[in-house]
């Protein structure tokens, strides 16, 4: 039978229209944000039915809220508050134990630059207060007494404190862990393309949904310039990776021309002075979060040395003098302008 060209063209048009009709809503990306863990958490997902995406995003936010209740210093019933109030420590949820285990590992690897026992120091500086002030030396010494990489230990889900007054702060790692968990929930809901961002702690899942205009799209992230607001320092291109930035421009105040920010050097209790910002690209956001904070404290030289201990982790450091320092394979992710 000869091909009936008008019929075939007609069928193709109908098929195309049907495919278009089916794909069109799924192609749209849905984006929602909520204020959780003291920051704006943004979740964007796409590539499938919008109702399914809405359910998945709701569940991911619920997971972050659940973890905030466990890990926040500000919730009196949290594991972190219970540990801080206890004399010797106690049993914690499996999730808290996972965060503490990773945090203690980075604390040890970084020679104590990353420290989970800076709760008193954090309260002393009071960045949450309306008018934070620089504490005096005596107060800093009291807040640092007994802190350090061996001040906490973990056995299964049992956390032990070396001294009763030690207060726990998971602020340098908890947001990253929560983003990892949110991504896990999105995946359980069948989501294959998503971005979760908790104030600079990001995970980029899969690729962005394809559109006729953009057939294959990686996630492209513009990294904030630490000294020029609204300027992009560099653009990176990733899929299935965490991109985490710690910077001295996130939370700070100025006194007599000196910038005081929220990432502390555990050696002296003062804001760490070697860097303006650190971006880490890693497999997990929790690890990226802890390493970004640790490298920020260590500075470019010791920081890049620390990263050599972690395969599959790359970093970009903006030193205090504005110079850029990168790990050997950072260029793998760089988008050349
Ligand atoms: P990030 O924005 O991830 O660098 O985390 C900064 C937060 O981590 C601060 O607000 C503190 O709660 C906590 N933090 C500050 N300095 C340190 C440190 N040296 N080690 C671990 N956590 C820290
Ligand atoms: Mg961090």
Q: How far is the CA of 86 from the centre of ligand 2 (A)?
A: 25
The CATH architecture to which 1-337 belongs is Roll (3.10)
Range list of H helices, 75-145 = 79-85, 94-109, 119-125, 137-144
Contacts of 62 (CB under 8 A, 6+ apart): none
Report which DSSP code applies to 152. E
Which residues on neighbouring strands pair with residue 31, listed in sequence order? 44
Q: Which two tokens stand for residue 130?
A: 């309306």
8 Å CB contact between 80 and 73? yes
Distance CA 305, CA 325 (A): 12
In this structure, which residue's CA is closest to atom 11 in ligand 1?
171
The three-class DSSP label of residue 221 is: strand
Q: How far is the CA of 37 from the centre of ligand 1 (A)?
A: 13
Q: Is 73 in the pocket of ligand 1 (CB under 6 A)?
A: no
Q: How far is the CA of 285 from the centre of ligand 1 (A)?
A: 15
The arrangement of strands across the sheet holding 39-45 comes to: 30-36, 39-45, 194-198, 201-205, 241-247, 275-282, 314-319, 324-326
Q: Which two tokens stand for residue 273?
A: 């002075």
Contacts of 155 (CB under 8 A, 6+ apart): none
For the chain, the domains span: 1-337
Q: How far is the CA of 117 from the centre of ligand 2 (A)?
A: 14
Q: Is 115 in the pocket of ligand 1 (CB under 6 A)?
A: yes
Which numbered atom of ligand 1 lies nearest the CA of 293?
Answer: 4
In this structure, which residue's CA is closest to atom 8 in ligand 1?
172
Report which DSSP code applies to 217. B
The three-class DSSP label of residue 229 is: coil
Q: Is 292 in the pocket of ligand 1 (CB under 6 A)?
A: yes
| The pLDDT of residue 337 | 67
Distance CA 30, CA 63 (A): 18
Which numbered atom of ligand 1 lies nearest the CA of 175?
Answer: 3
**CA pseudo-torsion sign 254, 258, 259, 261:** negative
Q: Which two tokens stand for residue 200?
A: 């600079």
Distance CA 41, CA 43 (A): 7
**pLDDT < 50 stretches in the chain:** 1-26
Q: Which two tokens stand for residue 185?
A: 């929930």
Q: Is 169 in the pocket of ligand 1 (CB under 6 A)?
A: yes
Top mutation candidate among 263, 265, 286 for ligand 1, by most atoms within 8 Å of CB: 263
Top mutation candidate among 100, 118, 277 for ligand 1, by most atoms within 8 Å of CB: 118
Could you tell me how many residues make up the chain? 337
8 Å CB contact between 195 and 202? yes
∠ CA 40-306-207, rounded to 5°: 45
8 Å CB contact between 79 and 71? yes
Q: Which two tokens stand for residue 19?
A: 């495919």
Provide the terminal-to-terminal Cα distance of the chain, rounded to the nearest Å: 55
Q: Which two tokens stand for residue 173?
A: 């790692």
Distance CA 100, CA 82 (A): 14
The three-class DSSP label of residue 314 is: strand
Distance CA 180, CA 163 (A): 31
């Amino acid at each position: 039978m000869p091909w009936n060209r008008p019929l075939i063209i007609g069928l193709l048009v109908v098929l195309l229209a049907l495919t278009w009709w089916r794909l069109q809503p799924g192609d749209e990306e849905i984006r929602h944000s909520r204020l959780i863990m003291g920051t704006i958490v943004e979740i964007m997902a796409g590539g499938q039915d919008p109702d399914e995406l809405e359910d998945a995003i709701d569940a991911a936010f619920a997971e972050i809220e659940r973890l905030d209740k466990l890990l926040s210093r500000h919730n009196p019933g949290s594991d972190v508050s219970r540990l801080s109030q206890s004399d010797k420590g106690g049993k914690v949820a499996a999730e808290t134990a996972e965060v503490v285990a990773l945090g203690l590992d980075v604390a040890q690897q970084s020679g104590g630059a990353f420290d989970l026992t800076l709760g008193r120091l954090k309260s002393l500086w009071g960045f949450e207060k309306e008018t934070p002030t620089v504490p005096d030396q005596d107060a800093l010494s009291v807040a640092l007494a007994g802190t350090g990489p061996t001040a906490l230990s973990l056995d299964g889900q049992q956390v032990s404190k070396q001294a009763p007054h030690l207060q726990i702060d998971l602020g340098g790692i908890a947001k990253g862990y929560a983003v990892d968990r949110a991504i896990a929930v999105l995946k359980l809901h069948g989501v294959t393309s998503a971005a979760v961002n908790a104030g600079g702690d990001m995970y980029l899942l899969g690729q962005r949904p394809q559109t006729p205009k953009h057939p294959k799209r990686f996630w492209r992230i513009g990294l904030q310039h630490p000294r020029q607001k609204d300027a992009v320092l560099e653009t990176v291109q990733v899929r299935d990776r965490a991109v985490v930035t710690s910077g001295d421009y996130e939370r700070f105040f100025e006194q007599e021309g000196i910038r005081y920010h929220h990432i502390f050097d555990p050696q002296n209790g003062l804001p760490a002075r070697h860097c303006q910002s650190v971006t880490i690209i890693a497999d997990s956001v929790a690890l990226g979060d802890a390493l970004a904070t640790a490298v920020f404290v260590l500075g470019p030289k010791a920081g890049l040395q620390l990263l050599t201990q972690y395969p599959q982790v790359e970093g970009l450091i903006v030193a205090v003098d504005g110079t850029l320092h990168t790990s050997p394979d950072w260029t793998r992710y760089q988008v050349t302008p």
